[in-house]
Structure 1
């Protein structure tokens, strides 16, 4: 199959479970006493959703996908997510 990208974006998209949601965080909280941390937060909205879901911590990260043009660098996301409640 021929794509319009380098192939990396297509590969990564094929590895993502698109059915995951914030309900899965609630489910994890029910089956463990461990603190739940969410990695990959890049927007203020995701910070708010994570806080509403009751996570113990947030890791601002682009998961190392700086190779993809449309993903902001982690440092660029800090300004938006810092201090959100």
Structure 2
């Protein structure tokens, strides 16, 4: 759960899921036993890093707002204008 929750927060850009993933990953890191450390493929602090990364992605529009689109410019994916009758 602590490894997949940050991914869900990154994909959805949901801040609440991001904070929950931070709490879960911190709890799993603090509750890690020496046996789990030996058999684990990645250290538990990697999941904490991923959880903080999900928070950064969630709060990114706050610090790097998307560019403003001018009214009427569109995304240039519209159909070309109709030909006048001849």
Shorter-chain TM-score above 0.5: no
Bigger Rg, structure 1 or 2: 2
TM normalised by structure 2 equals 0.29
Structure number with higher relative contact order (C-alpha < 8 Å, ≥ 6 residues apart) = 2
- Give the structure with the higher percent strand: 1
TM normalised by structure 1 equals 0.30
